[in-house]
Amino acid sequence: MSFQGYNRLTVLLSTKLVTKELHIIQENYLRTLDRIAAAAKASGRSPEMIRLVVISKAQSVEVIKIAIQAGIKLFGENYPEEAVEKMETLGFPVDLEWHMVGHVQSRKVDLVAKHFQLLHSLDSLKLARRLDRSCGQEGKKLPVLLEFNIGGEASKNGWLANQEKKWPDLLDELVNLRDMPNLSVKGLMCMPPPADLAEISRSYFIKTRKLQDFLRTQLPDLQWTELSMGTSADYDIAVEEGATLIRVGTAILGTRTN
């Protein structure tokens, strides 16, 4: 079966020099793709609807090079400066795609506008305005996802969305996104509170999906198709609950080193 442009055989055959590290990352990658496909099938979804973003934050360029050898082309990073340094060291390969998944500080907005293909973590109107301006100067329209704080944690960024009855209050702000010509809203992102059991994340994923339905009916002229949810700990459950983008780091690249 072909998935994200690959199948196990072509990936294995395209690999010439198999080091231990490459072998491990490749096996992790293929196992993750297999599990995504299985979770999609089990819930009646097509695996082609789901993209795997490999989170390479705090991983060295050496690890990323091995990941590229393993067939990985889509990376997610948390810190714009760290990410752009890595891109530079790699020589800005044109066949790679980079997503920003972490909180973006105002002074890093230009880096995001210039070097990333999707921002998962748009978390305030202020950031949206700055980014819109920067993308305008860059002559670029940036696809963005809105980050929602679905667990109501004080430590988390994103629009507070833990109480369903307060969702209508979000609209006053979100409606302004329609007037930002250089941003293209594509959907939602969430990061549930840390939990010992992956199953605990399920209710947060379901809630995010419900919020997606709400936004679809309330702000129909924006696009709400993408759902970025699920990490190493709980991505199969996220797929079962409708994720279209999943963000997996350690389960593929191993423990973060930097």
**Residues at the interface with ligand PLP (CB under 6 A):** 55, 57, 78, 101-102, 191, 231-233, 247-251
Task: Name the residue nearer to ligand PLP (CB basis): 184 or 250.
Answer: 250
Spatial separation of the C-alpha atoms in residues 31 and 46, rounded to whole Å: 17
Strand stretches in 163-206, DSSP E: 183-190
∠78-20-23 over CA atoms, to 5°? 70
Place of tokens 């002074």: 107
Task: Name the residue nearer to ligand PLP (CB basis): 200 or 219.
Answer: 200
Task: Name the residue nearer to ligand PLP (CB basis): 142 or 191.
Answer: 191
Closest by Cα among 225, 213, 248, 211 to 39: 248
Q: Least distance in Å: CB of 253 to ligand PLP?
A: 8
Task: Name the residue nearer to ligand PLP (CB basis): 57 or 86.
Answer: 57
Q: Least distance in Å: CB of 239 to ligand PLP?
A: 14
Q: Least distance in Å: CB of 218 to ligand PLP?
A: 26
∠139-143-149 over CA atoms, to 5°? 135
Structure token pair of residue 249: 């780091």
Q: Least distance in Å: CB of 234 to ligand PLP?
A: 9
User: Residue 175: what residue type?
Assistant: V
Q: Which residue is nearest to ligand PLP (CB)?
A: 249
